[in-house]
Amino acid sequence: MSAVQEMPFAPTDAEAEREAAATPRRLNILTLVTVVATVGGLLMALFYAGTDVEQGAIQKIFYIHMPSFFGAFLAFGATVLGGIQYLRTRAVKWDTLALAGVEVGLVLALVNLATGSIWARPIWNTWWTWDSRLTSAAIMALTYAAYLMLRGAIDNPDTRRRFASVYGIVAISTVILTLVIIRLPTPTIHPAAIGPSPQNAQGEVGLTPSMRVTLLVNMVIWGGLIPVTLMWYRIRLQNFAERVLALKARVLSQ
């Protein structure tokens, strides 16, 4: 007797698809934790962290601006991992991880740029200046936007995944450059947020104990919880899309 015959009930393809599409309990818990933590982090930034005596209330956007960059860093790091593993194994799941990392990382990079512009307007009296840190952050975002364009321009799945893997590995150099450029001997008006301010930067962000705690909490949220949660959802969406394509190919072949 076959394994299916021994089962009191054999699920149909549609039921198997519904079961696969159901959100895992762990993801539901992670989503709830992320939402609650995000709201809590914003409330800490608004009411718990002290107000900067020089910049005023606008400085509070710093608790999203800086952590969102590190969230993008984490997501783009996942792209590197996915690219390396795909080139080693040719397993599609690693390419899916790499794609999720780019899309989530790009969103967080745009959050970083947008909040930086909002912060700059009252402080520097301009929405944008071609400062070295700002320019490198813009190049980083454009580099990963080009990754998505590259994927869309290649029809063959294997070729697309192979090229995207190599591109995603190389593109991390723009993230590293953006991270360290303020420490390089290039002129910049961007203040240092961690460690002493280098000579080429104009000042540093002085943090009180309440500011440090708030920054640490939001670093965990924006630098960890949010990118991981979004990447998990994006991976599930891509897996669902792959199943739809496979089902379509099976139906057309009949």
pLDDT digit string (tens) for 67-92? Answer: 999 999 999 999 999 999 999 999 99
User: What percent of the chain stands above pLDDT 70?
Assistant: 82
- Confidence band (pLDDT; 50, 70, 90) for 55? confident
Averaged pLDDT, 50-59 = 82
Q: Are 42 and 60 in contact (CB under 8 A)?
A: no
d(CA 1, CA 155): 44
Closest CA to 178 of 108, 127, 85: 108
Residue 89, amino acid: T
Q: Which of 32-41, 42-51, 237-246 has the highest mean pLDDT?
A: 32-41
pLDDT at 151 over 70: yes
* Mean pLDDT, range 95-118, rounded to an integer: 96
- What tokens does 125 get? 């009296």
The whole-chain average pLDDT of the chain stands at 85
For the entire predicted model, the pTM comes to 0.85
> Which tokens in the block code for residue 93?
């799941």
Task: For residue 189, give the DSSP letter.
Answer: -
Q: What percent of the chain has pLDDT over 90?
A: 59
Predicted confidence (pLDDT) at residue 2 exceeds the cutoff of 50: no
**DSSP letter string over 72-100?**
HHHHHHHHHHHHHHHHHH--HHHHHHHHH
Q: How far apart are CA 121 and CA 119, in angstroms?
A: 6
Tell me the fold of 25-253.
Answer: Four Helix Bundle (Hemerythrin (Met), subunit A) (1.20.120)
**Burial class, 143, CB count within 10 angstroms (exposed 0-12 / middle 13-18 / buried 19+):** buried
Banded pLDDT at 65 (limits 50, 70, 90): very high
- Domain map (residue ranges) of the chain: 25-253
Of 117, 75, 70, 118, the closest CA to residue 98 belongs to 75
pLDDT score of 126: 83
Write the CA distances from 6 to 1, 9, 11, 55, integer angstroms.
Answer: 7, 9, 13, 71
Band of pLDDT at residue 52, cut at 50, 70 and 90: confident
pLDDT at 4: 38
Which tokens belong to 241? 């899309």
Tens digit of each residue's pLDDT (9 = 90 or more) over 112-142: 999 999 988 888 788 888 877 888 999 999 9
> Which one-letter DSSP state was computed for residue 219?
H
pLDDT-derived band at 180 (thresholds 50, 70, 90) equals: confident
